[in-house]
């Protein structure tokens, strides 16, 4: 649930400030946290650990930029489960391609998740004006980025500890900063957004640390899917803090998305 809380704070920050500024500053907060944890947690530095971490950081950077953009322009309670469903599907597909044979229950969960995306992306007015393609597309692509992030971190040596996350943050901060420079976007935060931005980054890194240790000790498909339960906390915060309301069809879709994750986790 830490991922979901971090996403909520990141969405709030993006509504107040510019996307690239929020991404860089939040990732900087995460970098400071993982640097502080390196001497305290077990793990061995290696070229492979940093390389896989940097590769995951590239995927994660694209994911987080699009995700925060989606949160800023769409409803959090729609974007979060849509992203999570896609992020959940990528490790499952990767497992299939590398020889895993998920059970019928897991495959049913993937199918249910895809159906959930169709439902949750409908407009609250019943779809008379059609879905907002921009935020939904951003959510789908960002989910693919997050799924790639999970897979690539899993490929790092099992004894590397949190060193891959150091590489991931260095790569993501560098990439987004270069993108801001190339597009002449300011990285200066809007007054009043700094605290929530850093909170998002610190919480996101804390969740990443927990995920990495779980993935190093368990099955990728199971761990990544369990991580994808995070929209529950995002939805609750969006409902009670922002007052977001969903249509009955969207509520059904959100339920299906969470149900899909539960099916795969139980497989």
Distance between CA atoms of residues 195 and 188, nearest Å:
13
The residue that leads in pLDDT, 34 or 76, is 34
Residue 129 confidence (pLDDT): 47
Residue 1 confidence (pLDDT): 66
Q: Which two tokens stand for residue 92?
A: 């499952």
Q: What is the mean pLDDT of the chain?
A: 82
Distance between CA atoms of residues 156 and 146, nearest Å:
16
Q: Is the pLDDT of residue 127 over 60?
A: no
Alpha-carbon torsion 95, 96, 100, 105, what sign? Answer: positive
Determine the 3-state secondary structure of 39 from DSSP.
coil
> pTM for the full model?
0.79
pLDDT in tens, 2-44: 877 887 888 788 877 888 888 899 999 999 999 999 988 888 8
Residue 115 confidence (pLDDT): 81
Distance between CA atoms of residues 24 and 90, nearest Å:
25
Phi and psi at residue 155, in whole multiples of 5°? -75, -10
pLDDT in tens, 220-262: 766 776 777 677 677 778 777 877 776 787 778 778 877 877 7
Residue 252 confidence (pLDDT): 84
Buried-state track 92-123, b at ≥16 Cβ within 10 A, e below 16: bebbeeeeeebeeebbebbebbebbbebbbbb
Q: Do 7 and 230 contact (CB within 8 A), yes or no?
A: yes
Determine the 3-state secondary structure of 176 from DSSP.
helix
Q: How much of the chain exceeds pLDDT 90, in percent?
A: 21
């Amino acid at each position: 649930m830490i991922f979901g809380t971090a996403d909520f704070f990141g969405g709030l920050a993006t509504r107040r400030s510019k996307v690239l500024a929020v991404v860089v500053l939040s990732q900087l907060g995460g970098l400071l946290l993982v640097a502080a944890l390196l001497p305290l947690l077990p793990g061995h530095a290696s070229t492979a650990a940093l390389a896989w971490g940097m590769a995951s950081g590239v995927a994660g950077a694209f994911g987080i930029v699009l995700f925060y953009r989606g949160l800023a322009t769409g409803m959090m309670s729609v974007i979060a489960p849509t992203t999570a469903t896609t992020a959940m599907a990528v490790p499952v597909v990767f497992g299939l391609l590398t020889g895993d044979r998920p059970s019928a229950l897991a495959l049913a969960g993937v199918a249910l998740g895809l159906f959930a995306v169709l439902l949750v992306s409908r407009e609250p007015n019943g779809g008379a004006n059609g879905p907002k393609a921009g935020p939904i597309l951003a959510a789908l692509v960002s989910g693919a980025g997050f799924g790639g992030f999970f897979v690539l971190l899993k490929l790092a040596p099992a004894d590397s500890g949190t060193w891959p996350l150091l590489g991931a943050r260095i790569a993501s901060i560098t990439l987004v900063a270069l993108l801001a420079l190339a597009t002449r976007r300011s990285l200066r935060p809007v007054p009043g957004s700094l605290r929530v931005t850093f909170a998002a980054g610190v919480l996101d890194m804390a969740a990443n640390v927990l995920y990495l240790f779980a993935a190093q000790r368990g099955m990728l498909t199971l761990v990544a899917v369990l991580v994808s339960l995070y929209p529950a906390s995002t939805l609750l915060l969006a409902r009670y803090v922002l007052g977001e309301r969903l249509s009955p069809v969207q509520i059904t879709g959100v339920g299906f998305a969470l149900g899909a994750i539960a099916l795969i986790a139980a497989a």
